[in-house]
Chains A and B, each alone.
Chain A
Amino acid sequence: SRRKRARARHKPCELRELEVSVSELGLGYESDETVLFRYCSGTCEAAVRSYDLSLKSMRSRRRIRREKVRARPCCRPLAYDDDVSFLDAYNRYYTVNELSAKECGCV
């Protein structure tokens, strides 16, 4: 199982999808409609640059102390899907834009 975990951790950054109801999105909309929610998930170890190594070194040498810095790339959407429209429980239409990812990348 240890090996399994290690393998799972090495899944590269990619697009996954999930079918969820609008209410589950937690935005406050009450609706039973389901939407396809695409998100980005995976590791970004192969995208580490000199910048990240140097920043880590600066931090460990206490040259950077107070600020929040991120010394490793992160798997995030590079582009978003089209707008999603739905009808809520009170018969009102809503349109949500940039709800789910279309393309992922390490940034």
Chain B
Amino acid sequence: AFGLYFPRKEYVENVYIDEPAGMPLLRIHALKDSHEEVAHFHLCQNLIISRARSHENNWFQIREKTGLLYLSKNLDRDDFNMLSVGNWMPLSKVMLYVFLSSHPFQEKECDSATRTTVFLSLINATAPACSSLTARQLCFTEMDLSFHIKENKPPGTFHQLQLPSVHHLCQNLSISYKLLAAEGLPFRYNENTTSVRVTQRLDREERERYELIAKCTVREGFREMQVEVPFLVNVLDEDDSPPFLPNGTDTADAVVEFNRKEGTVLATLTVYDADTTPIYPLESSRKKYTGTIVTDDPWISETFRVEHIFDEIHFSPNGSRVRGTRHEYKLVLNKSISVTEHRYFQLDVLVNDTEFHGPERSVMLHFNVSILPVSIQFSNVTYQFTVNRNAERFAQIGKICIENCMKFRGVNITYKLLPPNASCYPVGILQGREDKYGSLYVNDSSVLRRPDCKEIQYTVQATDKQSRKHTKTLLTVVLEGTLLRKEEDCPDSCAISKHRAECEECGGLGVLTGKCQWRQGSGKGITTNYSTCTPSIKTCPDGICDVVESRDPAVCPQDCTSGNIIGGHGKGTGNLGIKSGHGICYCFPRQNCYCEKDDIKEQLCDEVCKTVI
């Protein structure tokens, strides 16, 4: 993208019927890359009328040296009708491409990359009298005066304020321009040619936006009118700054201990660059700045990867706000690391600003990596749980977990109970797919009722899947409490009960002490704190359908139901369970759940069909 370029992407102008041949329409400027270049302008021999149609250009020409676009042939009503046929727009517009080259055009080449678009609005009327035009129309086109100039390029003229067509038609008007707010800025207005010139090389890292005002004064006899419009210049960036490190920080510590999972970010180092980095296209911005691990150890290149993200930051060199880039290089685990791995080494990452042409185009980042082993062991207490003899199947007794297990990521520990010698075997252990702990639960409640079972010793074994390392500890389950008589006609699920009284006099799956527990909600609208009957308030409803609850839908449908919920409610995560409900929520396991205010006295039927008993 070097060479000549246009300071504007588009130009607009109006064309009226029967304007004479030789009528100037607008001036197009080009800016240079080097002093020696000479700009040659050229029109493509096609007018684009709409997406589907184009027409040969017989009317418009451009002066090769000066960039003046003019009418070379009178455009009469027939031409107009021909150009606007099939153009469904009320105002017909035609489009021209103007090309730019540093050498005279040999042939009609229409594929040079440097082009700008001219939109001509064909107005179905003759040109209006100068006296009927407003000052705004006499001075400026409808388009904003907004330009872009590349940094580090030689000075040059990039715009002419005077409108050639107005100047041509309205000779008796005196129209003069001024550029305001330009003191101290590198722009000069030349009164003789009404052109604006950039007087020096611009530096985007100094300032990237200039906001001036173009003022126009129209005099007609004693009348004077003035118009002011904004005149904006944006400076385009090129890669002229090397990467640098904030505060010189080029080293970071990366410790691998409990979190050994693939995808873990271990450490981040930041590299700044005063240049902007365009986001699109993604591949090119990734290629522009590269970060590669410098190593010949295959284990390192397999186990680690570098992730690069960048975002825009702002800095203020001298009061103006300039955009720059912050690149972040994250050292990421490429695979899960075994618990036995134990190493220390330095890992170097080479960051390269590929488009910068200078000696300091790259920086080296250092990560001090320490991979610590973690031990798979139970803390040296033995577990002891007491279980009430009236507990039912799926009652949750407690959790079992090795040392630091909740901090583990990417370490798969499985828990197992080794069967005791005795025939008393009331509890089991279960583990969810993502769970780092084992949940101890009652899986045979008939054993709890046997008087010969009092204190049961188990051995718990935890095994790390990857390294096969395992550890054991003792677990004592003490049975306590006297057996209560079971109520008749109790459902097997606590959740069926609608009222406190019936809830607390029955048991159900998952109860710890033989009776269900009533949770009294606060009862305002649809709330997470709804009233309900549950085997244990601690675990149900808590918004999580845990591994024990999911074994049987009768244990805690409040957390696990996937069926219909009738009445005001909000569903839980993954559409499981009742997250929030209105009044009292109760469930018939494997069927519907209901949430309703208690005070609704249900009428089975209307007045007409009341049961006569």
Contacts and interface: CB of A to CB of B under 8 A. Distances in A.
A106 B570 CA distance: 34
Nearest to A73: B609
B260 interface: no
Interface size bracket, B side: 20 to 34
Given A41-B606, A74-B605, A75-B606, A28 B611 contact: no
A42 B596 CA distance: 27
Most chain B CB within 10 A, of A27, A70, A73, A92, is at: A27
A75 to B, nearest CB: 7
| A: contact size bracket | 20 to 34
Contacts of B577: none
Interface in A56-104: 68, 70, 72-75, 92, 94, 97-98
A26 B601 CA distance: 12
A9 interface: yes
Interface in A1-35: 9, 26-30
A106 to B, nearest CB: 10
Contacts of A30: 525
B510 interface: no
A9 B567 contact: no
B47 to A, nearest CB: 52
Contacts of B597: 26, 28
Of B564, B568, B582, most A-chain CB atoms within 10 Å: B568
Nearest to A72: B609
A43 B596 CA distance: 28
A77 to B, nearest CB: 13
B609 A28 contact: no
A41 B596 CA distance: 24
A9 B608 contact: yes
Contacts of B557: none
B609 A74 contact: yes
Given A68-B611, A70-B611, A28 B595 contact: yes
A28 B567 contact: yes
Interface in B218-252: none
B81 to A, nearest CB: 54
Contacts of B526: 28-29
B609 A70 contact: yes
Interface string A24-54: 0011111000000000011110000000000
A103 B569 CA distance: 26
Q: Which of B597, B605, B608 counts the most A-chain CB atoms under 10 A from its CB?
A: B608
Interface in B545-587: 564, 566-570, 581-583
B608 A75 contact: yes
B113 interface: no
Nearest to A106: B609
Contacts of B613: 68
B602 to A, nearest CB: 12
Contacts of B564: 97
Contact of B568 (A27, A43, A70): A27
Nearest to B612: A71
Nearest to A88: B526
A27 B582 CA distance: 7
A21 to B, nearest CB: 14
Interface in B589-613: 595-597, 600, 605-606, 608-609, 611, 613
A57 to B, nearest CB: 13
Interface string B116-141: 00000000000000000000000000
Contact of A28 (B582, B606, B608): B582
Contacts of B581: 28
Contacts of A74: 605, 609
B583 A28 contact: yes
B609 A75 contact: yes
A102 to B, nearest CB: 17
Contacts of A70: 609, 611
Given A68-B611, A70-B611, A26 B600 contact: yes
A97 B569 CA distance: 12
19 contacts: A9-B608, A26-B597, A27-B567, A27-B568, A28-B526, A28-B568, A28-B569, A28-B583, A29-B526, A29-B568, A41-B606, A42-B608, A68-B611, A70-B609, A75-B606, A75-B608, A94-B570, A97-B564, A98-B566
Interface of B: 525-526, 564, 566-570, 581-583, 595-597, 600, 605-606, 608-609, 611, 613
**A-B interface, 6 closest residue pairs, ranked by CB to CB distance from nearest:** A28-B582, A28-B568, A27-B568, A74-B609, A28-B526, A74-B605
Given A26-B597, A28-B525, 18 more contacts: A9-B608, A27-B567, A27-B568, A27-B596, A28-B567, A28-B568, A28-B569, A28-B597, A29-B526, A29-B568, A29-B582, A30-B525, A68-B611, A74-B605, A75-B606, A94-B570, A97-B564, A98-B566
